[in-house]
Amino acid sequence: MKKTARKSSKQGRIVNVSSEAHRFPYPEGIRFDKINDQAGYRSYLAYGQSKLANILHANELARRLKEEGADITANSLHPGVIATNLFRYNSAINSNPFAKWLVNGIGRALLKNVQQGAATTCYLALHPQVKGVTGEYFADSNLSKTTQHGQDVEMGKKLWDFTMNLTK
């Protein structure tokens, strides 16, 4: 991507899809020392942790690319609550007829459709208005604020090193 951006003189853009669920991870944010702890696993907290990791990754990548002088941006976003099959394997919802009706019935009328959910991703990937904007979090095609964890530079660096070690 760096080579292509340099040769084409066009800015590269990396877009990480996260979620407002990043606001609800484990208390420590990323559980580096308990990453595979089955006893303490909670699906909703693990989901929040994964969405926080998406934000931290984009922020750390943005920092590194900027440091290298690469003409590439990296941002993260919340696409909105979209009518998808996200809860298809959630036993708490599927075993409760009222919860299932709420998610599948009423929820669909209030949720974004797939096109609306893709709008912020497309905005970050293509719109001239965000040229040069990097290391930010967006919702509804606007800058948005993350939690303190989502702004934690040290946690982002630690996540980067942690994942690099996992992939060796």
- Which contacts qualify for 106-112: CB closer than 8 Å, 24 or more apart? 107/83, 108/83, 110/81, 111/80, 111/81, 111/82, 111/83, 112/79, 112/80, 112/81, 112/82, 112/83
Catalytic residue among 41, 47, 89, 137: 41
Is the Cβ–Cβ distance between 19 and 144 less than 8 Å?
Answer: no
Is the Cβ–Cβ distance between 52 and 25 less than 8 Å?
Answer: yes
Is the Cβ–Cβ distance between 135 and 55 less than 8 Å?
Answer: no
**Is 89 one of the catalytic residues?**
no
**Catalytic residue IDs:** 41
